[in-house]
Every structure is written in structure tokens, then in C-alpha cells.
């Protein structure tokens, strides 16, 4: 998708990425999305078990929409997805090129 000839159609509006503190491949994916002309406007949320400050800082510097630690109680996580669903239904996204 990022460096091949295959285009993702339609381009996703929101992406959830599970960030693993011991590997940088997810950070590399975030960086690649932010630098891709067709994908850079995607809203990205990082969901993680990690409280690794370096990854959080790096992700936030890549202009993610939110950083969600999975230390949340299940009710808080359910609330997050409910709010995300409401957001998805209310927001008007820009049209594709």
C-alpha cells in the first residue's frame, strides 16, 4: 500500500495502530503514512499496552489524533469506541482526489 503500485481504495479515514514498545515497525508505519501524499491526512490513533515515553513522544510528534493506553478499564475503552463512532458519524471528511 505504501510503496507498491496497488492503491487502497477507498483510502481509510481513521486508522488504529497497536504500538509495541519493543519494536519500531509501527513507528515506521506511522512515519510512512505521514509522509505519503495520499495518506498523510488519515486520522491515526495509537492504542498501546506500553507506557514507553519515547514511543509516545515520537507518535505525538507524528501528529496522531490520540494516544490511548490499554491500561484503561473496559468501560473506558468502550466509551472511547463509542465516542469514536459518534465522531465518525458526525464529521464531514474531505472528498477523495
Average pLDDT, the chain: 81
Which CATH code fits 14-90? 3.40.50.2300
User: Cα(62)–Cα(59) distance, rounded to whole angstroms?
Assistant: 5
Cα 23 → chain centroid: 16
> What pTM, to 2 d.p., does this model score?
0.75
For residue 1, name the pLDDT band (cuts at 50, 70, 90): low
Answer yes or no: is pLDDT of 33 > 60.
yes
Residue 68 has pLDDT above 80, yes or no: yes
- Listing DSSP states for 60-84 in one string gives HHTT-SEEEETTS-HHHHHHHHHHH
Give the highest mean pLDDT range of 2-11, 56-65, 69-78.
56-65
| pLDDT for position 3 | 60
Task: Locate the domains of the chain by residue range.
Answer: 14-90
Amino acid at each position: 500500500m505504501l510503496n507498491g503500485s496497488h492503491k487502497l481504495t477507498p483510502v481509510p479515514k481513521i486508522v488504529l495502530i497497536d504500538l509495541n514498545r519493543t519494536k519500531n515497525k509501527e513507528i515506521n508505519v506511522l512515519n510512512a503514512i505521514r509522509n505519503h501524499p495520499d495518506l498523510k491526512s488519515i486520522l491515526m490513533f495509537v492504542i498501546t499496552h506500553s507506557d514507553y515515553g519515547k514511543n509516545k513522544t515520537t507518535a505525538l510528534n507524528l501528529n496522531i489524533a490520540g494516544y490511548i493506553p490499554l491500561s484503561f478499564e473496559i468501560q473506558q475503552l468502550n466509551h472511547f469506541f463509542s465516542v469514536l463512532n459518534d465522531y465518525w458519524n458526525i464529521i464531514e471528511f474531505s472528498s477523495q482526489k
